[in-house]
């Protein structure tokens, strides 16, 4: 019985996603129109992530912020009232490792230190994954460069404001980040055919690459500090050092103005990076994937470094063989700040379920599990004053589920960011007919124009109807092969 219900729900959910996936514009249609400045969500089960669960509670939203939480709240007459009886409200989900909304490759893979490139330059507000992730309750995502380089590109935290131009996506005030990567992907010794020889090809080399880059950055910083000092001392005719876009972000790391998110797997490389960071005096904000983190959880906790891992994704390559689904729970118990991430546009649509797995594997409480995809990643990204929990004064980034979000039955009904509904399942479904009609009309119009063109041409003689042959479609090299994901 339960199984059949699950199947039905999964089918319904999957179907909805497939449909909305077919038309990128359906979401934009759904959320058009004026944004009410006051919204009252009524009579919901509120999972606050910071202070437990409130049964039959109301949330009042004013100008994009949560202005009150409690029972029987009153709203002005022009407020939008959402009756959430029987529904569950959680903070918007925060995905600490995402590659959606990027125009072009997520990897500048040609060099071992690609810190000159910046994901913020190529945010793609048209990526349908933004909308699909909204349909899975994600409101904020840490958009990372790929893992092809020991030191990768600059990264940016975004809010999933579907329909807004790219410049409106970045999370205001969030510190920028930078991607590091350890292990197989940056040493890429198995990918030489695809990518050619490139130093480094060993883990030793990865360490040396990072060390050498920061040595360079330290000298660079010194050169600029000297220059600035001499200029302020009144010296003239001084030649400034060359601005190097590769080293600027590394100096920011040294100055604590940019967060390091390091892709890693094995315990030895984790410890290596923590040592190098200590030596150069910078902080590793998060370890990403960190599938062997449970082995060195105490050391990670002592370094004050966060861990952002998968729930139960493993064995997809040798360095992922020692992964266990208890990783998140074990690290949590050892005092590590842990989040669960997706690293994948599809996985991101059910991060609530991924978080719930840590209740089964490792016995986290419901609150602890929910925090893995809300408050914890918010702290890891330094945006916890704005998002991550349902508290008065925070951004109204909220998800309304029809069932308990820590179950497999939950489907997102509405997703709000800054107090604005960006995903509404009902509107999406209602809007599909309009979208389909527009598409049909445009196709017919194009066909008519083609017909007119053809009439002008004389029909070439003796042309046989062409039969279609199954396409010999060479698959592009998978992101993972090139160090894109995982």
Q: Rule CB under 8 A: which residues touch other proteins? A: 23-25, 103-111, 114, 116-119, 121-122, 124-126, 145, 153, 165-167, 194-196, 198, 237, 239-240, 242-246, 435, 438-439, 442-443, 445-446, 450, 456-458, 460-469, 471, 482
Tokens found for residue 277: 């960071």
Nearer to other proteins, 206 or 396 (CB): 206
Smallest gap from Cβ 286 to other proteins, in A, equals 21
Nearer to other proteins, 121 or 255 (CB): 121
Nearer to other proteins, 159 or 295 (CB): 159
Tokens found for residue 389: 């929990």
Residue 424's DSSP bridge partners are 414
Q: DSSP letter string over 170-233?
A: B-TTPPPEEEEE-SHHHH-TT-HHHH---S--SHHHHHHHHHHHHHHHHHHHHHHHHHHHHHHT
Smallest gap from Cβ 411 to other proteins, in A, equals 25
For residues 401 and 352, what is the distance between their CA atoms, to the nearest angstrom? Answer: 10
Nearer to other proteins, 161 or 198 (CB): 198
The CA distances from residue 155 to 50, 106, 121, 250, 423, in Å, are 27, 10, 10, 13, 25
Instruction: Report the number of secondary-structure helices (H) and strands (E) in the chain.
Output: 14, 16
Smallest gap from Cβ 202 to other proteins, in A, equals 18
For residues 203 and 401, what is the distance between their CA atoms, to the nearest angstrom? Answer: 44
For residues 411 and 429, what is the distance between their CA atoms, to the nearest angstrom? Answer: 14
Smallest gap from Cβ 189 to other proteins, in A, equals 14
Nearer to other proteins, 179 or 295 (CB): 179
Smallest gap from Cβ 152 to other proteins, in A, equals 11
Residue 98's DSSP bridge partners are 143
Smallest gap from Cβ 150 to other proteins, in A, equals 14
For residues 440 and 437, what is the distance between their CA atoms, to the nearest angstrom? Answer: 5
Nearer to other proteins, 66 or 156 (CB): 156
Nearer to other proteins, 189 or 450 (CB): 450
What's 386-431 look like in SS3?
Answer: CCCCCCCCCECCEEEECCCCCCCCCCEEEEEECCEEEEEHHHHHHH
Beta carbons within 10 angstroms of residue 453's beta carbon: 9
Q: Is 2 helix (H, G, I), strand (E, B) or coil?
A: helix
Nearer to other proteins, 119 or 260 (CB): 119
Smallest gap from Cβ 182 to other proteins, in A, equals 20
Smallest gap from Cβ 380 to other proteins, in A, equals 23
């Amino acid at each position: 019985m339960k199984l059949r219900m699950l199947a039905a729900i999964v089918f319904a959910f999957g179907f909805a996603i497939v449909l909305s996936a077919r038309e990128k514009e359906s979401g934009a249609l759904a959320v058009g129109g004026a944004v009410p400045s006051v919204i009252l969500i009524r009579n919901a089960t509120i999972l606050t992530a910071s202070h437990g669960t409130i049964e039959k509670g109301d949330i009042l939203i004013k100008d994009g912020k949560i202005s009150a939480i409690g029972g029987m709240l009153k709203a002005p007459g022009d407020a939008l009232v959402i009756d959430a009886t029987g529904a569950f409200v959680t903070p918007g989900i925060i995905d600490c490792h995402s590659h959606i909304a990027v125009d072009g490759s997520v990897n500048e893979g040609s060099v071992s230190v690609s810190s000159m490139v910046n994901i913020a330059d190529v945010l793609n507000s048209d990526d349908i994954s933004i909308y699909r992730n909204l349909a899975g309750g994600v409101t904020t995502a840490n958009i990372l460069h790929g893992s092809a380089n020991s030191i990768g590109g600059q990264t940016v935290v975004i809010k999933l404001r579907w329909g807004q131009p790219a410049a409106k996506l970045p999370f205001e005030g969030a510190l920028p980040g930078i991607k590091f990567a350890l292990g197989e992907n940056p040493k890429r010794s198995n990918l030489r055919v695809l990518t050619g020889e490139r130093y480094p090809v060993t883990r030793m080399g990865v360490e040396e690459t990072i060390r050498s880059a920061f040595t360079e950055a330290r000298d660079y910083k010194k050169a600029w500090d000297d220059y600035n000092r001499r200029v302020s001392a009144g010296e003239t005719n001084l030649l400034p050092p060359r601005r190097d876009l590769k080293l600027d972000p590394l100096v920011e790391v040294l100055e604590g103005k940019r967060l390091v998110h390091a892709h890693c797997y094995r315990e030895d490389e984790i410890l290596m990076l923590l040592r190098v960071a200590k030596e150069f005096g910078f902080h590793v904000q998060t370890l990403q994937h960190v599938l062997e983190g449970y082995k060195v959880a105490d050391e990670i906790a002592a370094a004050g470094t966060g861990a952002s891992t998968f729930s139960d994704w493993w064995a997809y390559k040798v360095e992922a063989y020692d992964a266990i689904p208890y990783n998140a729970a074990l690290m949590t118990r050892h005092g590590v700040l842990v989040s669960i991430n997706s690293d994948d546009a599809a996985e991101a649509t059910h991060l609530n379920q991924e978080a719930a797995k840590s209740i089964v594997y490792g016995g986290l409480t419901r609150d602890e599990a929910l925090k893995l995809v809300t408050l914890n990643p918010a702290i890891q990204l330094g945006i916890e004053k704005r998002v991550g929990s349902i508290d008065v004064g925070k951004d109204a980034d909220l998800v309304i589920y029809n069932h308990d979000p820590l179950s497999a039955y939950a489907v997102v009904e509405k997703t709000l960011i800054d107090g604005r509904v960006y995903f509404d399942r009902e509107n999406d479904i209602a809007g599909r007919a309009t979208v389909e009609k527009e598409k049909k009309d445009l196709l017919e119009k194009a066909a008519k124009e083609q017909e007119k063109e053809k009439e002008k041409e004389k029909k070439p003689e003796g042309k046989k109807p062409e039969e279609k042959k199954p396409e010999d479609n060479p698959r592009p090299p998978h992101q993972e092969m090139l160090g894109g994901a995982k």
